[in-house]
């Protein structure tokens, strides 16, 4: 494997396995993994906790000035975790209450501008893998490798339900399906940085791929770009 460091941008709808493959790939390549969605979730958590009126531009701007986001490595889990103002919020940001509001918060231009600046700083040294909705189109349009993850709707709902059920046994599959449908619509139709497949992105439909097969496919792609 060559020593060249690249930026890998992974986009796609929710529950397409973007975060999972990004983490695996980062581990294989010894790259920094950045979960951009966790940043928006942490901002949403702050807004919810502090009753920020999203329709009040002044309140939003003031709230963003009070937010510090950081990724820190957890030696026990072996993963990077999201910190909001020095508090580990990795568990809290996965709650359904946050999931129901995050797409709405992420439509705000001030919020996206705030997050994109921080995301781009993390990519300055390359050797970065970032997943989200607008990584290949807005955050890193210059990324050497862009992937667009997709999967059948029923597969995505089942995946998210299993993930949510582990944390909240009271959640229903109907609630999860409605949440995914709502997020898909908002992400694709927002005015600022809507979800789009970059023209040079490689589409990966993982509906029928095993985790091992998906990792091999993506790792082979990454190595082909690194070695060229």
Reported as a single tens digit per residue, the pLDDT across 183-225 is: 899 888 988 888 999 999 999 999 999 989 999 999 999 999 9
**The 79-84 sheet, strands edge to edge:** 69-74, 79-84, 87-88
Quick one: pLDDT band at residue 1, thresholds 50, 70, 90?
A: very low
Q: How far apart are CA 166 and CA 151, in angstroms?
A: 22
pLDDT at 164: 85
pLDDT digits (tens, 9 = 90+) for 137-168: 999 999 999 999 999 999 999 999 998 888 78
Segments of 156-216 assigned E as strands: 202-205
Boundaries of every domain in the chain: 7-212
| Architecture of the domain made up of 7-212 | 3-Layer(aba) Sandwich (3.40)
pTM above 0.75, yes or no: yes
Distance of CA 51 to the CA centre of its chain: 24
Average pLDDT over residues 22-33: 92
Cα Rg of the chain, angstroms: 17
- The answer to whether residue 2 scores a pLDDT higher than 60 is no
């Amino acid at each position: 494997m060559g020593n060249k460091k690249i930026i890998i941008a992974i986009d796609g709808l929710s529950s397409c396995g973007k975060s999972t493959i990004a983490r695996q790939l980062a581990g294989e390549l010894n790259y920094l993994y950045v979960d951009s969605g966790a940043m928006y979730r942490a901002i949403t958590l702050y807004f919810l906790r502090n009753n920020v009126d999203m329709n009040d531009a002044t309140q939003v701007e003031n709230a963003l000035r009070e937010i510090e986001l950081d990724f820190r490595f957890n030696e026990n889990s072996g993963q990077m975790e999201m910190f909001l103002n020095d508090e580990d919020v990795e568990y809290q940001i996965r709650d359904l209450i946050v999931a129901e509001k995050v797409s709405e918060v992420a439509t705000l231009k001030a919020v996206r501008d705030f997050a994109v600046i921080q995301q781009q700083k993390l990519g300055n040294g390359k050797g970065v893998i970032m997943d989200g909705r607008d990584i290949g189109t807005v955050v890193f349009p210059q990324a050497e490798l862009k992937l667009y993850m997709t999967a059948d709707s029923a597969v995505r709902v089942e995946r998210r339900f299993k993930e949510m059920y582990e944390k909240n046994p009271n959640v229903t599959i109907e609630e999860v399906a409605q949440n995914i449908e709502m997020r898909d619509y908002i992400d694709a139709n927002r005015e600022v940085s809507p979800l789009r497949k970059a023209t040079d992105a490689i589409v990966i439909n993982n509906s029928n791929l095993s985790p091992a097969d998906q990792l091999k496919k993506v790792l082979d792609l990454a190595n082909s770009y690194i070695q060229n």
